Structure 1
Amino acid sequence: MRSRILTLAVATAAAGALVMPWAAPAPASTPAAVVIPAGSAPVTPARSAPAARIVTHFDLAKGQLPENIALGPDGTAYLTFAAARQVAAVDRTGRTRVLATLPAPADGGVATPVLGFALTSGIVRTGDGTLYFLYASGDAASTGLYRMPPGQQPRRIAALPAAGLPNGLALDPTSRTFYVTDSVLGTISTVPLAGGAARVWSSASALAATGFLGVNGVKVRDGAVWVTNLDQGTLLRIPLRQGRAGSVETRATGLVGLDDFAFAPDGRVVATLNGPNTVVVVDGDGRTRTLLTGADGLQNPTSVAVRGHTLLVASAAYTTATDPNLIAVPLHHR
């Protein structure tokens, strides 16, 4: 398993909303999304490094490579550990507790396309404490969207294509609909909150892979579905037209290795560049600045999330093979 992981060029991820014990309270209202012009300026190395700190170190040998995060109101962090096929909880003290381990592919030899191993990926937590997450096994009997109520075992509520790689997961609470990205098939699908058949919502060419992995992270915000494309280095916005997909709008380009992203309180975009091992901030005028690098403890950052003025970054160490971790950093307007 470890040898397979070390052959990856970049990681795949999507993040859920965060509430951490060290985070500031959430703002009373959500600001409007920043409009980032297409053809954004390239990343500049200039940065004003904030006081980043590593909150928790994970066990590389056990496959504890964090892909995605969703947090409860008590500050517990719920993570998917990709190579371990696990969902885990990390409490305020940093203690890690495994909540579930997904079964290995049925025949012992089936694995996801491109990556070559089965993995847990996107995760969302709802207000009642239920966790929803994706499992990509390459096996039709197990690939899909899972529900895990508190204290119970996970159960698949929607099958997803075994030939693909379900990766990012976001919930639109208004329509009670999940949006699922598939990084191999280049699609966004919808699944009802209650479960059921998955339906392809968009297969636009802007979502396609061009060599490794395509559409990746996903958020639902201000009447649109926002996604990243790792291969194409783009941030995309797709308007919701009475539930249907509108025309794809490109909001940022030139972000090599773009994996996951989140919106800061002022509407700026914070994004992980996995292979380059950096986290960047994209300003409203299109300027892109480096916020964190390997010097701050990054190890192939896979996902980010913002709550108040605190940024949380998960690093899976896919190619660095050193110290998968969770980093917290103050996020201020600069």
Structure 2
Amino acid sequence: MRLSTSTISTLLCFSFQLNTQASPTPYSLPANVSQHLPLPLPVQVIHQFPPGTWLENLAVQSSGDILVTLLTSPDIYQIDPSQQRAPLLIHSFTPYLGLLGITELQPNIFYLAAGNASYTALDSPGTWAIFELDLTQGATAPRVTKIADFPNAHLLNGLTTLSVSSGTLLVADSLAGVVYRLDTRTGQSAIVIDDPSLKGYPGINSSTTTPNLGINGIKIRHGSLYFTNSALAQLVRIPIHADGTPRGPAVVLSRDVSFPDDFVLDHEGNAFVAEIGVNNLALVRLGNGGAKTVLAGAPLEDPGVLAGPTAVEFGRGRAERRRLYITTSGGLASGLANRTLGGTLSRVEVGGTGWF
């Protein structure tokens, strides 16, 4: 694929963006969302961190609380979306510099990527590890275990659960353009997908401070791996075997996602994508040729701004099924580092009566 000059220029103006996994949810939007609710949808900020804070990823607990990972510090917080409790710092993964993807394997047992990346220096080979965060005793009594080091990885980013029964995960390296399978019981890992569709744009030096990120957010659904390719502005699907290896060629589902980070799928396979470079939440209808609708996003002066959205997840439970939770970088990935913004956890209502 050849990118236009404007697309390449847009890519080179960004400093960073990242992602993680979420389970598909049994909900979907109506055929024409704009006929049901005026767009853009309003954005409610649940919590804003101090200026210069990058929220990278999130996972929704069965309790409804939200776990958020930070890139600008090696911290994971628990946030009450009802705002009745102050955000809780669960654990700081020092001496690592930041955290990226997160996935839940068993109830209240999460896995996350830690490394020495920063938004100005992403390529950090030899610093990456996957940790287990056990919250079965509650967020105030976390149990943290290092599962594996990844000495050859450059930027571990998206994580998703491959098999609950075998305790395996898939882990994306955005700069190397490969996917690892990790056995969380033994700590052993191996590259299972190394395909051109996972790579960034040819000819751009990934070691610079304007990194050329390929595969980013990853999800598994119906025997296929779905992922965003940030540099190529694509949403892609690869059918996989039970062990994570490919069982068919990659298929580009959309070429119209603007520097995409993480995403979530509904039960029909529609994707809700965090477009980090253009400050938008977009709906991509994968069964309709990848047609895209921008659902939310606002000028930075507006209070409901999505300044560099990084990840998106549906809420859990009946009352939350029409809500999307979104983390942002505070604009650090969108050429907005001069703004006095802090990363946010926000909520967008994407449904109404009769929508689902």
TM-score category by the smaller chain? Answer: 0.7 to 0.9
Distance 1:237 1:161, change over 3 A: farther
Query: In structure 2, what residue type is equivalent to 1:146?
Result: F
Give 5+ residue unaligned stretches, structure 1.
1-6, 19-25, 32-46, 106-117
Partners of 2:57 and 2:74 in 1: CA distance = 12
Query: In structure 1, what residue type is equivalent to 2:322?
Result: H
Residue 300, structure 1, aligned to residue 308, structure 2: yes
Partner in structure 2 of residue 23 of structure 1? none
Give how far 1:251 is off.
Answer: 1.1
- The 8 Å contact of residues 17 and 69 in structure 1, kept in 2 or not, is answered as no
Q: Secondary structure at the match of 1:154?
A: strand
Counterparts of 1:221-240 in structure 2, within 5 Å, are: 221-240=221-240
TM-score under structure 2 length normalisation: 0.75
Query: In structure 1, what residue type is equivalent to 2:295?
Result: L
Query: In structure 1, what residue type is equivalent to 2:199?
Result: A
- The 8 Å contact of residues 146 and 154 in structure 1, kept in 2 or not, is answered as yes
Give how far 1:8 is off.
Answer: 5.0
Equivalent position to 1:172, from 162, 175, 192: 162
Distance 1:242 1:266, change over 3 A: closer
Give how far 1:191 is off.
Answer: 0.4
Counterparts of 1:60-71 in structure 2, within 5 Å, are: 60-61=51-52, 63=53, 65-71=54-60
Residue 328, structure 1, aligned to residue 318, structure 2: no
Q: Secondary structure at the match of 2:161?
A: strand
- The 8 Å contact of residues 207 and 229 in structure 1, kept in 2 or not, is answered as yes
Query: In structure 1, what residue type is equivalent to 2:22?
Result: G
TM-score under structure 1 length normalisation: 0.79
Q: Percent identity?
A: 20
Partner in structure 2 of residue 146 of structure 1? 131
Query: In structure 2, what residue type is equivalent to 1:80?
Result: T
- The 8 Å contact of residues 297 and 327 in structure 1, kept in 2 or not, is answered as no
Distance 1:234 1:8, change over 3 A: closer
- The 8 Å contact of residues 171 and 179 in structure 1, kept in 2 or not, is answered as yes
Partners of 1:82 and 1:278 in 2: CA distance = 20
Partner in structure 1 of residue 119 of structure 2? none
Partner in structure 1 of residue 39 of structure 2? 48
Query: In structure 2, what residue type is equivalent to 1:310?
Result: R
Give how far 1:74 is off.
Answer: 1.3
Give how far 1:71 is off.
Answer: 1.6
Partners of 2:22 and 2:107 in 1: CA distance = 15
- The 8 Å contact of residues 281 and 296 in structure 2, kept in 1 or not, is answered as yes
Distance 1:130 1:327, change over 3 A: same
Query: In structure 2, what residue type is equivalent to 1:300?
Result: G
Query: In structure 2, what residue type is equivalent to 1:280?
Result: A
Distance 1:168 1:273, change over 3 A: same
Give 5+ residue unaligned stretches, structure 2.
1-12, 29-37, 117-123, 136-140, 205-211, 316-320
Query: In structure 1, what residue type is equivalent to 2:148?
Result: A
Residue 11, structure 1, aligned to residue 17, structure 2: yes
Segments ≥4 residues shifted beyond 6 Å: none
Give how far 1:119 is off.
Answer: 2.0
- The 8 Å contact of residues 136 and 162 in structure 1, kept in 2 or not, is answered as no
Give how far 1:216 is off.
Answer: 0.3
Count of paired positions: 290
Partners of 2:297 and 2:178 in 1: CA distance = 30
Residue 102, structure 1, aligned to residue 93, structure 2: yes
Distance 1:232 1:139, change over 3 A: closer
Equivalent position to 2:102, from 101, 105, 123: 123
Counterparts of 1:202-221 in structure 2, within 5 Å, are: 202-210=193-201, 211=204, 212-221=212-221
1:38-61 residue CA offsets vs partner (Å, 9 max, x unmatched): xxxxxxxxx722232111111235
Bigger Cα displacement from structure 2, 308-317 vs 180-189: 308-317
Equivalent position to 1:289, from 286, 293, 298: 293
Give how far 1:201 is off.
Answer: 0.9
Q: Secondary structure at the match of 2:78?
A: strand
- The 8 Å contact of residues 229 and 258 in structure 1, kept in 2 or not, is answered as yes
Give how far 1:266 is off.
Answer: 4.2
Give how far 1:100 is off.
Answer: 1.4
- The 8 Å contact of residues 177 and 193 in structure 1, kept in 2 or not, is answered as yes
Distance 1:254 1:287, change over 3 A: closer
1:139-162 residue CA offsets vs partner (Å, 9 max, x unmatched): 63x511101212244222111135
Query: In structure 2, what residue type is equivalent to 1:51?
Result: P
Equivalent position to 2:113, from 126, 129, 134: 134
Give how far 1:183 is off.
Answer: 0.6
Partners of 2:256 and 2:295 in 1: CA distance = 17
CA RMSD of aligned residues (A): 2.5
